[in-house]
Amino acid sequence: MARLPRFVLPGYPQHVIQRGNNRQQILYEEDDYWFIWDKMNVAAQKFECDIHAYVLMPNHFHVLLTPHVENGIGKLMQYVGRYYVQYFNNRYDRTGTLWEGRYRATLVDPKGYLQAISHYVEANPVRAGLVEHPSDYGWSSYAANATGADDDLVTPHHEYERLGRSAKARREQYAKAAETPASETLLKEVRDATNKAWVLGTPAFCSEIEGVLNRRAQPRPRGGDRRSEAYRRQAGRL
C-alpha cells in the first residue's frame, strides 16, 4: 500500500515520533542524549520550527513542534537523523541503518489537542515504567513546561500562554493537568492518528484542514453499517 502523504501546513503543530529500527535502543549514555538534544536545538533554529514538548526515550523520541516553513519538519528530522546516525555508528563501531523507516507524524488541532499531546509526550517514561512521575525523568520538556526550568529546546505555544495570566499560573495549571493520566480513548486516538498520518482534531478542525489542503483529514467511516440491510432499507435501496 502506498504511503499517505503527510499533512504539511506551516503554523500548525505536529506530533512526530521516530523509532529505532526494530525498536532497538538508540540512546545509551548521557552523551548520546546530549548529542541528539543539541542537534534538535540547532535544527529547530535552522529550519524555523518551534518545539513545544519532547521526550528522548531509550529506543525512540517524540517531538511536538510547529513549523513556520513548509518543509521545516522534514528538514529538521533529516538533519537530526543523519547527524545522529553518523555519531552513533562511529561511537558504537557499527554500520547500517538506525531508524525504523521514515518518521511518523500527525497534524494537531492546537485548541482541542495541543495540551493533551504535550502531556502525552512527557508521560511516556511513566507509561514505559521507567519513572513514577514525569518530573523524575530528565530528558523531556516537563521541567520547562511545569516548573519553568531552563531548556533552550522549548518554545511555548500560544495555547500554553493561555493557561494563565502569569508564568507561575501557567506552570501551575500545566502541572495540575499533567496529574490526570491520558484515557485509553485518547491514547488510541493519538497513536492511530500518528501511525496512519491522519489529522488529530475535532470534526470542525478536520473539516477546516480538508478545506485548506483539499484532501481528507480522517479515514472514511467503515462501510459495515452502510452495507447492512437496515441501512439499505432506510436509504430506500431494498
Per-residue pLDDT of the chain (238 residues; tens, 9 = 90+): 445 667 788 999 999 999 999 989 999 999 999 999 999 999 999 999 999 999 999 999 999 999 999 999 999 999 999 999 999 999 999 999 899 989 999 999 999 999 999 999 999 999 999 999 999 999 999 999 999 999 999 999 999 999 999 999 999 999 999 999 999 999 999 999 998 889 999 999 999 998 888 878 888 766 544 444 443 444 444 4
State the pLDDT at residue 5: 67
Q: Nine-digit cell at 106?
A: 500527525
Check residue 215 and give its pLDDT.
Answer: 77
- Whole-number Cα distances in Å, 35 to 47, 49, 56, 84, 120: 18, 19, 11, 7, 24
Which superfamily is assigned to 14-234 in CATH? Transposase IS200-like (3.30.70.1290)
What is the widest separation between alpha-carbon atoms in the chain? Answer: 68
pLDDT at residue 238, rounded to an integer: 40
129, 30 contact by CB (below 8 A): no
